[in-house]
Structure 1
Amino acid sequence: MALIAPVGAQSGPVGDDIVGRATLAIEQGRYGDALDLLTLDEASDEAGRQFLLGELHARGLGVPQNFETALQCFRRAASLGHPAARNALGRAYSEGQAVEADPQLALSYLRAAALSGEARYQADLARALEAGLGGEDGIGEAASWYRQAADQGDLDSLTSLGVLYLEGRGVDRDPLLAIDLFRQASESGDARAQNNLGLIYVRGEDVERDYDRAFQLFSQAAGQGLREGLANLSVMYASGFGVEVDEAESLRLLEQARRSRGTTLSALLATIGFPFDARLINHDWTPAFGVATEQAAEAGDPVALYLTAMWYLDGDGLRQDVPEGIDRLERAARAGLGPAQFALGLIYANGRGLPQDYASAYVWTSLAALAAVPGAIEVRDALAVEMSADQLRGAQQRVGRHARETD
């Protein structure tokens, strides 16, 4: 809190740079300071203020994640002409998360944002059109928006435009132009372009086959963690194309590709493991079972409850008792201990020791995210994708009630 000057301590009217100061606070991870500034109702840039409030609620930064509140803020900002808010609303209505999907309304908001001239919004509109949001005629329009974004230096749009020319979708097929676009994006470091160009050299279609060049391109894409690049490089090592056969390296790359499936819930849970699983990294406090800690737990101390819960769940130094462990974990979580909240959320997400319940998992991982527990935000957001709008709305209301009870 001390890192930011007290509101009103600077010269000039209080509202002159509230949005700028709040933006800086968000970038520095001082979400509470940002929220304090944005709730002053004195910002000269009302559209910017509402957008940032929407961002905090949408991302659950400093406040419980609440999409309804976020959308209300975005609508206010959009009505005042804020391009980012219009883009956020367009994406919400196109994806149908927390609101009923509405393609026409989505396109209206996305087009309004794209007309601001910013490449990132032009790219978002193009992706939505390519995905079918505008029907069969949308692919041609997507190519136009990709071109405008690419002209401003957006590498992903340059690569996507190349894909359309390679496949002849929305434009006349022109493989040589596609290769040139991939080469431009590849040389600027775009992993997807490097992988696409590598595939072209492997197949020898529209260009002379060149395994050595393909190997270099797949290596570049894999070096950036692109799953497809890792998988294709694995094939090169397995088959000896462009490199000597190395089955061990091939298997290593393939396993890395499998681990980089993204932030899907199943991938995250497989990586993190269960709360009472050796794969879960232990916290700093890991003493052996002791009478003093047990007495503190019986007295209701949250940390002691959490520690002894883990002992019972793991069977560490005493007879394993999963129900007793979960009971203690719930008590620690309800007392506001972040690691306990995250562990309880993982148990609900995995359905081990308790019935699988994504709504409850979302509640506890959301509270853990508010407590800044590492990994909680990623699991919370992955859970949200698996839930219906009604389930998510109800879960977010529960989070708000829990947060108010522990204030």
Structure 2
Amino acid sequence: MKKIVACLLFWLGVLSSLPVLATNTDEGNASEAFLRVDYAEVLLEMEPIAAQGNEDAQFVMGTLYENGYGVSKDYQIAANWYRKAAEQGHVSAQFQLAVLYRYGEGVPQDDQQAGAWYLRAAEQGHADSQNNLGWLYRNGYGFAQSYEDALIWYKKAAEQGHAVAQFNLGLLYDVGNGISEDKLLAAYWYEKSATQGYADAQFNLGLLYEDGSGVPQSFQEAAFWYERAAIQGDSGAQNNLGVLYRNGLGVLQDYNKAASLYQSAALQGYSTAQNNLGALYAEGSGVPKDDIRAHMWFNLASFNGNTEATKNRDAIAKRMTPHQVAQAQSLARQWLERYGE
């Protein structure tokens, strides 16, 4: 028995460490960590223990089959092993089984079953399950829509330091869906999440500081949080930080920086940034004055539903020759072919 326990503890430790390695080290080191694990050995040692009913071993077996570690990936077999462990109360297996039901992998897609398994794990204090359960309640999947229940479960996860739940809780207070709007609490939870590096929370916190909602208005603070989200590729934050640089709000005015930020967001298809970048080209601010490029960006933003850009495109076309307009339209088509619609 001691040998079995030691074996389980060893392999559970190895498997649980892999996501951490993959997240916190560079790609090469993460790959080396995966290569150091002999999954055939894991399977050989775990399967007989799992067959005897050991819930930890059953969870390991589910993990191997779900991810294709040492075996062909098979969600159905993974679900069977997770279910065996979940029915014995294994919290991580309950969570993984819920995820499979949510996305219909290895089992029929079933939000009620997903909710039931999230609930069982959530009641054991599993923060990911609490957050996901809150999301189901908020959106009415598997349960009758209930913002009050969403608030309860988001808060349980948020109080454990779950960054996504902290953001989701902040969003409930920010928007006031089914509960009283409270910008102060929204800012409080956004900041909890933002300080953990969650880009959506950083962006929304920047919005609150820019507007002075729930916090004293501060363009400097807005720029601080927009920059952190922008570094992570958040297109909204890139655009809004660009606006601050263009107008010298909270930062030194810098048209070049504004143009660079607008372009980063525009390349992701963010229509407001495409329109703003077009305006810089039309003015020659931070970029060379270029009506063809301006028309191209206005046209792309218009294609993405930006009505202001439509007006800007039509206005600038009046000072362009038909040949220049044709060039701009050709560039827009090429952009769409390269970056997709």
Cα distance in 2 for partners of 1:97, 1:108 equals 16
Matches of 2:125 and 2:152, distance apart in 1: 13
Confirm or deny: 8 A CA contact 2:97 2:117 kept in the other structure: yes
Cα distance in 1 for residues equivalent to 2:146 and 2:178: 11
Q: How many angstroms does 1:22 deviate by?
A: 2.7
Q: Go from structure 1 to structure 2 and tell me whether the alpha carbon gap of 1:120 and 1:198 turns closer, same or farther (over 3 Å shift).
A: same
TM-score (norm 1): 0.55
1:251 corresponding residue in structure 2: 296
Residue in structure 2 matched with residue 90 of structure 1 by the alignment:
134
Alignment of 1:26 onto 2:70: no
Deviations 1:245-284 (A, max 9, x none): 25367536854885699xxxxxxxxxxxxxxxxxxxxxxx
- Name the structure, 1 or 2, with higher relative contact order (CA <8 Å, separation 6+): 1
State the match for 2:332 in structure 1: none
Structure 1 residues 85 and 9, CA gap change in structure 2 (3 angstroms): closer
Find the counterpart in structure 1 of residue 183 from structure 2.
Answer: 139
Aligned pairs for 1:360-375 within 5 A:
none
In the aligned structure 2, how far is the partner of 1:177 from the partner of 1:154? Answer: 16
Structure 2 residue corresponding to 1:198, chosen from 229, 239, 242? 242
Please provide the CA RMSD for this pair. 3.3
- Aligned partner of 2:30 in structure 1 is none
Closer, same or farther: CA 209–81 of 1 in aligned 2, 3 Å: same
Distance verdict in 2 for CA 1:92–1:260, change over 3 Å: farther
For residue 5 of structure 1, what is the aligned residue in structure 2?
43
TM-aligned CA distance change 1:17 to 1:170, over 3 Å: farther
Residue 345 of structure 1 corresponds to which residue in structure 2?
none
Look up the equivalent residue of 1:5 and give its one-letter code: L
Cα separation, 2, equivalents of 1:42 and 1:136: 37
Cα displacement (A) at 1:238: 5.0
Aligned residue identity for 1:9: E
Match of 1:76 among 120, 124, 131: 120
Could you tell me which residue of structure 1 aligns to residue 320 of structure 2? none
Is the alpha carbon distance of 1:47 and 1:162 closer, same or farther for their aligned partners in structure 2, counting shifts above 3 Å?
Answer: same
Residue type at the aligned position of 1:61 = E
Q: TM-score, normalised by structure 2?
A: 0.65
d(CA) in 2 for partners of 1:160 and 1:135?
Answer: 19
Counterpart-to-counterpart distance in 2, 1:72 and 1:190: 34
Residue 164 of structure 1, CA deviation:
0.7
| 2:263 partner amino acid | S
Question: Shift in Å at residue 123 of structure 1?
Answer: 1.6
**2:90 and 2:298 mapped to 1: Cα distance?**
50
Give the aligned length: 260
Is 2:162 the counterpart of 1:122? no
Cα deviation per residue 1:263-321 (whole Å; 9 max; x = unaligned)? Answer: xxxxxxxxxxxxxxxxxxxxxxxxxxxxxxxxxxxxxxxxxxxxxxxxxxxxxxxxxxx
**Cα deviation code 1:141-175 (max 9, x no counterpart):** 11111111222222332222111111111112112
CA contact 2:102–2:114 (8 Å) conserved in 1: yes
Report the Cα distance in structure 2 between the residues aligned to 1:55 and 1:188, rounded to whole angstroms.
26
Q: Is the 8 A contact 2:275 2:297 kept in 1?
A: no
The one-letter code matched in structure 2 to 1:132 is G
Deviation at 1:44, TM superposition (A): 6.5
One of 139, 144, 149 as aligned partner of 1:105: 149
Distance change in 2, residues 1:178/1:57 (3 Å): same
> Are the counterparts in 1 of residues 171 and 186 from structure 2 also a CA contact under 8 Å?
yes
Map of 1:16 onto structure 2 = 56
Distance in 1, matches of 2:57 and 2:270, equals 40
- Give % identity: 30
Structure 2 Cα separation of the partners of residues 130 and 27 of structure 1: 37
Counterpart in the other structure of 2:230: 186
Shift of 1:65: 1.3
Residue 225 of structure 1: how far off its partner (Å): 4.8
* 1:289-308 to 2 correspondences below 5 Å: none
1:162/1:99 CA distance change after superposition, 3 Å: same
Q: Aligned partners of 1:179, 1:70: CA distance in 2, in Å?
A: 40
Kindly state the Cα deviation for residue 85 of structure 1 after the two structures are TM-superposed: 1.5
Cα displacement (A) at 1:207: 4.9
CA contact (8 A) 2:220 2:249 kept: no
Q: Secondary structure at the match of 2:47?
A: coil
- State the secondary structure of the residue aligned to 1:159: helix
Task: State the distance in 2 between where 1:92 and 1:50 align.
Answer: 16
Residue type of the alignment partner of 2:56: D
| Alignment-mate amino acid for residue 142 of structure 1 | A
Tell me how far 1:194 sits from its aligned partner.
Answer: 1.5
CA distance in structure 2 between the partners assigned to 1:253 and 1:61 by the alignment: 42
The amino acid across from 2:47 in the alignment is A
Change (3 A) 1:175 1:78: same
Q: CA deviation at 1:60?
A: 1.5
More helix by share: 2
